Structures are given as structure tokens and as C-alpha cells.
Structure 1
């Protein structure tokens, strides 16, 4: 019972749709099962399983597999199905995480790209470390002052528009069918 609880592959094999850490059934149910089934019934069940495995006709064109090979092939097929299912879930989570990271990085990387092109951060030629750091700090100061001037001029422009009561008059187009 602990193996079923701890093993996602076994849970998938038993028909679970999702992994669950709960106990699949009460341990006392195994006692009831053992009391209701005798050794003869269990041996008949085992014989039926073996007979079903040995009746492989090889209709798919391949020679019939040995008992050990058939078991390995079945287990491998089931495990590949489970692995691919969990792998795709993991891939989906990784894709979501990468998308979220990219969305949070885009504004920051955009500022650095603008700093390289407009403010010459890509052409720093200073040889000393402190001179390079000072050049970079001055470039960022100019970038911040530029953003501040842009915001102030936009605010001033909006105040002037509201002060003079300018309203946009858009032309109206009428469709005439003819």
C-alpha cells in the first residue's frame, strides 16, 4: 500500500488520473481480501494470467516474445507513456515560468538597450574601473533626467490643453451606398 502511495508510475498503472499522496485504501481491506480468497483461487488467477501471456499469436508480423521480453516491453511502454505525460506537464510549467520571466525582464532590458544606443553606453573606452563606473553613472543620470523632463513636459502640455479647453474635432465620414 505504501508503494502505491509513493509511486506515481504505479498509480498511473492502476488508473489514477492524478498523483495522490493519500492512502489508496484502508489496510484492513487487505485482510478481508485474503480471508475471502483461498490459495486455490489465487493460483487459478495466476494460471489465467500466464495463459493469456503465452497465447501471443504474433499477428503484428513480429515473432512472439518470450515471457520476460513481453513483460519488459509492456513495462517500458507504460513507463514511456507516464514519462512523456509528466515531461509535458513539466515543459508546460517551464514555458509559463520563462514567459513570466521574459515579461518582467522586457522593460529593464529595453532601458539598457536604449542606454546603449542613445546614451553611448556601448562605447565606453575608459581604462580605469572608477572612470568606467563614473561614466556609466552619468549616463544613467542623464537617462533619468531625460525621463523626468519628458514627464514634466507631458504634464505641462496636458495642463495647457485643459486650460484652453481644446477639443479634438474629428471629421465624420458617411458611407453612401449607390
Structure 2
């Protein structure tokens, strides 16, 4: 199969190779919580008078979906999906575009302070995420409420000041975000 169309210009016998330029357009973000509805369409730019677009084929992973110019898909299962658009011309030139879709689930977050309920300033405090069904998160960020943060799964922190601190936990799993904030007193 050709990957480009050849055209010969009458001026100066110049040979120009033209490849269809295609892109996938979505009306929604390409990640989120299930069920995730996404409307797909395409943009094809193939400026040649010698060849025309013959066919388009949409696929998700290895499954053929449609040959229509656009379609809508609902992703009900958690995972990462690859959406492909294949284009072929009358002369057999081909092009492909792809986009990755990440589908996650709602996460019911929780966390606690380990070992004891009261801490003095300058003591080392250890936090632990206690979510019922913990995941292997794409991202995890702890905000200790005093301007300091950590990217560790089980972080420790030393507060300089006393008082109420709004401790926050932000995570994402397959691009589905979740966050929780708790106010804790440090004496």
C-alpha cells in the first residue's frame, strides 16, 4: 500500500509527494470517570486533484467501529483505549491518526494520621491513605496545609507551627480525579 500520492507538476517537472493529513476531533475530554461519552469526528486535509479519499475506518483497539465520518462511543469499563482513524485514497495512499482514552472510576478517598491523635509542632507526623479499595494511582499529591506538599504514598511531615491545618489528598486513577481535605489540630 502506498503511503503517499505522487503528482507531477507541469512546471519544471517537479515531483511532489502528498500524504493525507488527518486528525481526530472529540467534543469531550479524552479522560474521565465511567461511563464516559465521547463524540468523534475527523478533519482530513488532502490538497491534491490527482487523488481522492476513498475510505475511512474507525477502530478502538483492534475492533472495527464504523466507516462513518463521525460516531459516539460510551466507555463503561475502566481502562485505557486507543482510538484509530485509518484513511485510504483511490490511489492506495494511507494515513492513520490515533488518540488514547483513559477511563477511571469514582474514588472514595480517606486518610488518617498514624500512631496518635495529637501532635506537637516539630514532631514528625505520618499520614496514610485508607481508601477502601486503593488503586495504583497515576498521580498522588498530599497538601499539608502549611504550604508544603509530598508526592509519596505514605508521607511524613514536620509542622513548624501549631493550629488547625487543612490537610488535603489529591489523586487520579486512569485520569479520574479525586480529592479529600480534612482539618486537623496540631498543638
- TM-score, normalization by structure 1: 0.18
- TM-score, normalization by structure 2: 0.17
Structure with greater proportional helix content: 1
Structure with greater proportional strand content: 2
Larger radius of gyration: 1
